[in-house]
Amino acid sequence: MILPMYIFGQGVLRKHAEDINPDYPNLQELITNMFETLKNAEGVGLAAPQVGLPIRVVVVDLDCISDDEPSYKGFFRTYINGEIIESSDDLVNMEEGCLSIPGIHESVRRPSKVRIKYLDENLNPHDEWIDGFLARVIQHEFDHLEGKMFVDRLSPLRKQMIKKKLLNMSKGKFSCHYKVKSR
């Protein structure tokens, strides 16, 4: 089932998401629905707060870019109770967008490599270093779990330049091709 995407201005996007227990009800159904929602919205990552749930669940689909990056062929991952526990000192700028902030793309500076801990969809624990585009996506999505959005990482000048667009978005004045929940 395709879930509605919560848009900038919704309170759940600013909440610190909670860890879930292994007995979280209908977890596999939620994961399936999040992947379906992500595919429908043509994104690469989705955090549960973006579909209105303040819990620590993230899904990532990099298969959709495997024509350009063959190493991501068949890359569908679930990250439960994930957290970044260490990051590299070298920083990289890259343009980011967000399904919860449709139509806005900005350059964001982030570490090129991060160490993460999480549970997969079968609740198996993982502790690993990741880099490249995956590290970018994970940092972006894990920010959602902390109640942060990529626009929070912009310089004061860039924030000022997009302030009106964000204000309009929070009032429901925007357009996108996927199902949304705003205001």
Residues with catalytic roles: 141
Non-local CB neighbours of 67 within 8 Å, separated by 6+ positions:
none
Residues in the chain: 183
3-state secondary structure of 13: helix
Q: Which residues are 18's β-sheet partners? A: 55
CA 15/CA 145 separation, integer angstroms? 8
CA 22/CA 55 separation, integer angstroms? 13
E strand spans, 67-141: 76-87, 91-98, 101-111, 113-119, 125-131
Per-residue b or e along 121-160, where b marks 16 or more CB atoms closer than 10 Å to that residue's CB: beeeeeeeebeebbbbbbbbbbbbbbbebbbebbeeeeee
